[in-house]
Every structure is written in C-alpha cells, then in structure tokens.
Structure 1
Amino acid sequence: MSDAKKDITFLLKATVNRKKGKVLFAQVDSAFADVLLSFLTLPLGTIVKTLKKHHEDVLQEFGSLTSLYTGLANLDSVHFWGGEGAKSILLHPKSSFDADRQRLKLDISDSPPLEYFDCPKKCRSFARFKSISMYYDKPEYCRYCGSSPMNREVAKNEVQTAPCDDGVFMKKTSSFLLTDDLYIMPNAGLLQIARVLGDIDMDEAETLNVTFELHEVLRLLMFSLISKNPLSIIILNAHLEYKKVTEFTENVSNYNSKKMNLKLVVQKSTKKLLYAEAEEDFVDFLFSFLIIPLCRVKYLLLRMFPNSRDKAIDNLFMSAIDCIHDKYYKHPDAKNWLMTLNIRHGYILKNHILPLTEEELPEIYRNVDWLRSTNFPNGQGNYLIGPRTYKVTDDLTVTPFCIVSILSNLNENNIPMSDVEEVELQIRLKEGLSILKASLTSKCALTDALLSQVMNRQPTREQG
C-alpha cells in the first residue's frame, strides 16, 4: 500500500450513545459510500490476502477461508497446472471490477493491473494480428518466430489511474446515512432513519466528528465480515456482537447434474469429523471460493438462505440493491453489477457446480490472434493436476494425502481404528453452497455444512 493511500482521510459525522456503547448512525459522503460498496467487488481471496497483509497481528479469522488460503499458499506448485502460474491466480485473484476500483478515493485491494504476454519482436500472423496470451500457462516462446521468449506486459486499459472526482458507484452530490450494522440509505429524512433504527432514545445521543484513514477502513472491512456492529467496535471500542442463525429456509434446487464425490472420515464414538479424503475436483472447488467476488457470494447465499442476514456485510449488500434508489447511482446498471459480477475470464472451472458466469474477453484480446491456454482451451479448465488425493480438515486446510501422517495422528490422539468410519457423500449445488456459506463464518466448515448428512447415513465401510 502506497504512502499516499495512508494519508487519505474520510470525515464521518457519527451519532452515538456512549452509555450503551453504540453508534446509532453516521452521515457519510459519496466517496466513502463508494469505498464501502467496493468491498462487495473484492474476490474472497483478495479480502483474505489484504487483511493478512495489514492486520496479521489482530486478524479475526475469516471463517475457514484464512486456513484455506494458507493451505493453498503452502501447497507445492507441482500440484498445479502451469506450476506457480495457476497457484498465483488463486492467491492473487483478479476481479472484472479491478480497473474501476482504481478510480476510488481509496482502493484497499492493491490489485495489480491485468497483464498479458507478448512477443518482444511484435510478431504478427499473416492476417496482421498480434500474437499474445493472457493465461498463466503461456507459451514459453512465440509461435511465429519461434525464438523469442514471451514478455509480460500491462494491458493499456488497466494502467493505474488517478482517483475519480465524480464518483464510481454513487453520484458525487449524494450523501448517505450508515447504521452500525452497515445498512446504507440516502440522507433523506428523520422518519426514514427512525423506521430503520426503531425505538431509540435520542435524548442520550451526541454527535462526534470521526476521521477514518486506511487503518480504520481495513478494520471496517474485517469487522463487517464477522460482526453486527463494526462502527461501534471501531469508534467506541465496543465488544463484538454477532447473531448466530440457527434456523434458515433453504431455497435452492440443483440447476445441473454435476457432482463430486467426497469421503468423510468420522470418529464413531463422538461423531467428530476427523478429516475428508478428496480428489482434485473437490479441492479445485474449494480453491475456487477465493476467486468469487463477495457480492456474487452474497447473492448466491441469500437466495438459498434468505433468513441468514447475520453479519453487517449482508446488510450492506441488501441495502445497496433494495434501499438505494437508482437515481443515486452513477450508472443505471450499478445494482445489476453488484448482483451479477462475473468471474474474471480464464478463472472459472470446467466442471463448476455453482451458477457462476465468466466475463467477456477483455478488450485487449479482441481482434488479435490471442494464444489460448493449454489447460483452459475454451477459457475454462482446472487448477490442480490429477489424479491426486488430498486430505481436507474441518477448517478447509488442504494437504496432500499421506496415510503415514494420518495413522500417526490417530495414534497421537488415542483413536483406535475400530472407532473410525468412512461416509461417502455426493456434493452437488446444495451441498456446495452450504460449504461456501460455512466457510465464511465457521472454523468447522465441513462439520457445519455436512454433519447432518453424516449423522443420518449408514457408514459405507468401517476400517479395522
């Protein structure tokens, strides 16, 4: 993060109740509202990477995604198609909103611009098309001259730009009210805020002028993901509050017949999940969480679990698409972008089970003889080389499967083989979304997402 970004400030006029240790609401300008909405455009992997970089010492683990990301980082590149290239796009995922995010007053993502590979001799086909490639498994040498190693270059339309003075999401003249749980609404009147806040005692309220810099904005992102009261935590040092959703209504049907097999290894006496044994397709699926923009995740999950708005980030997403009138947005399609932000071209899995779509080929690759990926011949493929088997722990840490290590772990924990059973499950859309949801909030993602199925099934085979 550049020093210039560290000097950027936002002024919030916060109405608080010190006695209750609560921020009632804050008045913010369009620049700050833009930064808030930009949280939703970040891929999950970018969020984990950013928070690890700036808040490693106080990082509240982002469900199981932190351990998923760390396990990916520790996995040797020999497991990936294209080696470090495929691994890198998962550790440093791009979003189709990256170029727009650079125009914010403060872009917290530090996302590098799109790069491609070009022959230094600027070779062209007989049709005078340039020979370029965008994929991590780019050709080592130009296919026309055959002798020049391909160079990495930055796409001209994604060169770093200056912040935009007239807004990115919101029109510059707009101002907004922001509640403690990040419900955002136009600054339109007293009765509107009263309906949102309910019965509050304004006699004990006072107004504070609060400055948010980079540090506070990053903390706001972190606490929005895990709490219901991020503003009170940051401004008044309040205790973290969260609502545990114990009941929800599922509203999903499997939109395709794609499925993956997963073997869960469970301790019979305690019904505790010891680990999962998975093939590369399931691990590919887990790693693909990191490339999905947060707004797309929220759109998918709130359709399946409509009653599970248990974190402030859920309110930010829902208020952005339901509460704010189109007239406040700079672009008429802004709401649609937040609901349907596509996956970056060349990232999506060949056999993905989630209803995700890929963006169109970037402008730089149109009307050129662009070199297609060996592993992604049609823009889709796999990250991991197979066939291989992996061990996946309850917090989604992925390691190569090693029977010696597993037996040693069982012995260390005094778990006899006679107390171990295997349960095989098929993972389709419903189960996949359940795992995605649990990964955001729980350090026991597989247990929370799949344990009920484990409890209701008979074991397929006992060990010992």
Structure 2
Amino acid sequence: MAGSQVSLKLLINSETKKVLFAEAGKDCVDFLFNILSLPIATVIRLLREQGMVGSLGNLYESIENLNETYIQPYQKKDALLKPIAPAAAYSVPLLLFDSTVVTEKLFYKCGCCHNFSYSDNQSTGCTNCRRQMTSPMNYVAPPTEQKSASSEGGFVKGVVTYMVMDDLVVTPMSTISSITLLNKFNVKEVGSLQEKLVHIGMNEVYNAYVHISTSIIGFGF
C-alpha cells in the first residue's frame, strides 16, 4: 500500500450545515479514480477481511467452496477470486492488495515436441502431440516508459487542486468554478463559510467499498 491516509479540505456552509464541496489533492483523486479499475472480486475480498456479509460475499464464498470436480479442467478459481488489478493501482494510496504483487506471468509450452505454441494454463493440450503443456516459459514484461524527473505516478497531475462534489463529480478547481458553485448553492455571506480538514483512513475506505459493492447490482447485495 502506498499510503495509510489522504486528506481533503471541506468547504461548509455554517448556516445550512451543508458541505458545498471538497478541495482535494492528487493522492485523494488518484484513490477515487482508481476505484474504477478494481475488479469486483478484489473489492469483495478486501471487505470479507473486515467481516463483510451479504450476497456478493456469499457468491465469493461459493466459488471458494466449489469442489474442483465441478470446474472445467482449464479453469482456475483464482482467475475469479484473485483477478490481477492494473499495475498502476499498486502505487495509489489506500488501495490494498496482496503483499505479493504479480509482476510476471507464466506461460507453458510442450516439453515433448518442438511445437511453438504456448498457453498460460498447464492443462492445455499441445496442438501437435496433445500432451499437456507443462514446461514453463517466463514472460518478460516490456520496459516501462521512461519517467521524467518530476514524475509523480498515479493517474492525475499534482500541479493543481481538484474539486470533489458530494455526488463524486471531480473537476480541476479554479476561482471561477468556486464562485459559480457559491452562486449555485445560493451562498449570500462569504463569512458563513467554514473550512474543515478531514483525513481519510482505512475505515472510510472500507465504507466506500461497501457502498460501491451494494450499488453495483440492486438485488439486495
């Protein structure tokens, strides 16, 4: 995990007790955007570790408990239970993954003949001799793009501040956009506005994951 906490500043109308918007930095926006890249099974696995219950958790457990007898010989449970998240997400604050990050993918070839076919599953039959392709071939990932000296990683640039609305609309922050929002919320007295710095830790993140998982499918999940 790249970080254990991110911060954002809330602008609150003290008269109506309503949060108008949040002023957020790169780390917070990277976290919000990269939630979209997480496989649903990854979210469920994280929530189960915190005692999540519900239909999606039951679905996950059903796969775990399913006997290998009922699974196709070329399929593996981990393909559904532990899908590989995008590599970029591993550098984002508050996105938790297994401690071992998959950086290589194994492919297999036939060890009995000189067939050039290969597969990512040892149960696959060779297209030439039909024997299982069990001889490993290491996949070497291409070099990553050369990063500039000011490269920050993540998804968005850190040279600007971002505005996050309560419906999760995220836009670059500017003086004009701020004034427009104040007019939209009918704020008459600037003196009624208060700033509040809040910190997002793992409890808030798990709550966000719960909200996401219950919103994906509307069948009481």
- Pairwise CA RMSD of aligned residues? 4.0
CA contact under 8 A between 2:7 and 2:199: conserved in structure 1? yes
CA contact under 8 A between 2:26 and 2:157: conserved in structure 1? yes
CA contact under 8 A between 1:46 and 1:93: conserved in structure 2? yes
Report the CA distance between 1:21 and its aligned residue.
6.3
Taking the TM superposition and a 5 Å limit, the aligned residue runs for 1:182-201 are: 182-188=168-174, 189-194=177-182, 198-199=185-186
CA contact under 8 A between 1:114 and 1:158: conserved in structure 2? no
Q: Which has the higher contact order (CA 8 A, sep 6+)?
A: 2
Aligned match of 1:15: 11
Report the CA distance between 1:112 and its aligned residue.
3.6
Aligned match of 2:56: 65
Aligned match of 2:165: 179
Aligned match of 2:81: 91
| CA distance in 2: counterparts of 1:36 and 1:187, whole angstroms | 16
* Helix, strand or coil at the partner of 1:26: strand
Structure 2: gaps (5+ residues):
145-149
1:16–1:87 Cα change, 3 Å: same
1:172–1:211 Cα change, 3 Å: same
Cα offsets for 1:393-440 (capped at 9, x unmatched): xxxxxxxxxxxxxxxxxxxxxxxxxxxxxxxxxxxxxxxxxxxx6xx2
* Helix, strand or coil at the partner of 1:216: helix
| CA distance in 1: counterparts of 2:143 and 2:66, whole angstroms | 30
TM-score normalized by structure 2?
0.70
Aligned match of 1:442: 219
| CA distance in 2: counterparts of 1:70 and 1:194, whole angstroms | 48
Cα offsets for 1:50-87 (capped at 9, x unmatched): 2222x22xx374xx43332222222222111127x432
Cα offsets for 1:132-182 (capped at 9, x unmatched): 42237446x9x89x89943485653599xxxx9434321231321112232
TM-score normalized by structure 1?
0.37
Cα offsets for 1:205-255 (capped at 9, x unmatched): 4212222234433333333555xxxxxxxxxxxxxxxxxxxxxxxxxxxxx
Report the CA distance between 1:40 and its aligned residue.
0.7
Aligned match of 1:150: 135
Taking the TM superposition and a 5 Å limit, the aligned residue runs for 1:380-399 are: none
| CA distance in 2: counterparts of 1:65 and 1:158, whole angstroms | 37
Aligned match of 2:36: 40
Q: Amino acid of the residue matched to residue 47 of structure 2?
A: L
Q: Amino acid of the residue matched to residue 167 of structure 2?
A: D
* Helix, strand or coil at the partner of 2:76: helix
1:112–1:191 Cα change, 3 Å: same
Aligned match of 2:45: 49
| 174-183 or 203-212, larger mean C-alpha shift | 203-212
| CA distance in 2: counterparts of 1:124 and 1:32, whole angstroms | 53
Aligned match of 1:29: 25
* Helix, strand or coil at the partner of 2:181: helix
Aligned match of 2:194: 206
Name the % identity: 21
Cα offsets for 1:265-316 (capped at 9, x unmatched): xxxxxxxxxxxxxxxxxxxxxxxxxxxxxxxxxxxxxxxxxxxxxx6xxxxx
Q: Amino acid of the residue matched to residue 36 of structure 1?
A: L
Structure 1: gaps (5+ residues):
227-310, 312-436, 445-464
Higher helix fraction (1 or 2)? 1
Aligned match of 2:147: none
Q: Amino acid of the residue matched to residue 94 of structure 1?
A: I
Is 1:77 aligned with 2:73?
Answer: no
Q: Amino acid of the residue matched to residue 185 of structure 2?
A: G
Taking the TM superposition and a 5 Å limit, the aligned residue runs for 1:276-425 are: none
CA contact under 8 A between 2:13 and 2:192: conserved in structure 1? yes
CA contact under 8 A between 2:24 and 2:162: conserved in structure 1? yes
Q: Aligned to 2:96, which of 86, 103, 108?
A: 108
Q: Amino acid of the residue matched to residue 168 of structure 1?
A: G
| CA distance in 2: counterparts of 1:191 and 1:19, whole angstroms | 18
Q: Amino acid of the residue matched to residue 10 of structure 1?
A: V
CA contact under 8 A between 1:15 and 1:24: conserved in structure 2? yes
| CA distance in 1: counterparts of 2:212 and 2:180, whole angstroms | 23
Q: How many residues align?
A: 209
